[in-house]
Chain A
Amino acid sequence: MKATTGISLLIIFFIFAVILASNPSNSQEEVQDPFPEVLAKLTYLNSMGVNVTSLVDDLNEALMLYQKGNISQAMSILNEVNATASSLLSRADETHFRQLFEKYTEAVLLLSIPLIIYVALPRAYAYFWYNSRKNWRVKKK
Chain B
Amino acid sequence: MSLLQDDEVFAVILAVSIVASVLGTVLILRPFSSEKFSAIGLLDENCKIGNYPEIAVNGTEIKLCLFVYNHLGEPAYYKVVYRIGNNDTLPSNLTSSPAQEIKEWRVILNNDENTTFPISVPVFLNANETDKVALIFELWAYNMTTGNWEYTGLWTDLYINVTKGG
- In contact, A67 and B10 (Cβ under 8 angstroms): no
Q: How far is the CA of A125 from the CA of B1 in the complex (A)?
A: 8
Whether the pair B106, A67 counts as a contact (CB closer than 8 A) is yes
Q: Are the CB atoms of A126 and B4 closer together than 8 Å?
A: yes
Counting contact residues on chain B (CB < 8 A from A), the size range is: 20 to 34
Q: Output the nearest chain B residue to A40 by Cβ-Cβ distance.
A: B144
**18 A-B residue contacts at CB 8 Å?**
A39-B77, A39-B108, A46-B74, A47-B74, A52-B110, A56-B75, A56-B109, A60-B109, A63-B106, A63-B107, A63-B108, A103-B28, A111-B25, A113-B21, A114-B17, A114-B18, A122-B3, A129-B1
The reply to whether A59 and B25 contact each other, CB–CB distance below 8 Å, is no
Q: Does B94 contact A (CB under 8 A)?
A: no
Q: Which residues of B contact A104 (CB under 8 A)?
A: 29
Q: Please, which residues of chain B bring their CB within 8 A of the CB of A57?
A: 110
A71 at the binding interface (Cβ < 8 Å)? no
Contact with A along B115-155 (1 / 0, CB 8 A): 00000000000000000000000000010100111000000
Bitwise interface map of A from 79 to 109 toward B, beta carbon under 8 Å scored 1, else 0: 0000000000000000000000001101100
- Interface: B24 (CB within 8 A): yes
* A125 lies within 8 A of B109 (CB): no
CB pair A121–B29 under 8 Å, yes or no, is: no
A35 and B28 contacting across the interface, CB-CB below 8 Å: no
A53–B10 CB distance below 8 A? no
Q: Are A53 and B110 in touch, CB under 8 angstroms?
A: yes
**Which B positions have Cβ atoms within 8 angstroms of A?**
1, 3-4, 10, 13-14, 17-18, 20-22, 24-25, 28-29, 74-75, 77, 105-111, 142, 144, 147-149
Query: Are the CB atoms of B74 and A111 closer together than 8 Å?
Result: no
A window 23-48: CB within 8 A of B: 26, 30, 35-36, 39-40, 42-43, 46-47
> Taking the nearest CB of chain A, how far is it from the CB of B139, in angstroms?
16
- Asked if residues B25 and A110 are in contact (CB atoms below 8 Å), the reply is yes
Q: Bound state CA distance, A111 and B149, in angstroms?
A: 46
Do A118 and B14 touch (CB < 8 A)? Answer: yes
Indicate whether A107 sits within 8 Å of B25 (C-beta atoms), given known contacts A35-B108, A126-B4. Answer: yes
Q: Which residues of A contact B18 (CB under 8 A)?
A: 114
Structural contact, A36 and B28, CB atoms closer than 8 A:
no
Complex CA–CA separation, A129 to B1 (angstroms): 7
Interface centre among B3, B4, B17, B110 (most CB of A within 10 A): B110
Residue in contact with A111 in the complex, picked from B21, B142, B147, CB distance below 8 Å = B21
Query: Inside 8 A of B109's CB, which chain A residues have their CB?
Result: 56, 60
A117 touches B75 (CB 8 A): no
CB of B14 within 8 A of CB of A114, answer yes
Chain A contacts for B105, CB-based, 8 A: 67
- Looking at the complex, which one of B3, B13, B21, B107 makes contact with A60 (CB distance below 8 Å)? B107
Instruction: Give the Cβ gap from A48 to chain B, nearest Cβ, in Å.
Output: 11
A15→B24 CA distance, assembly (Å): 70
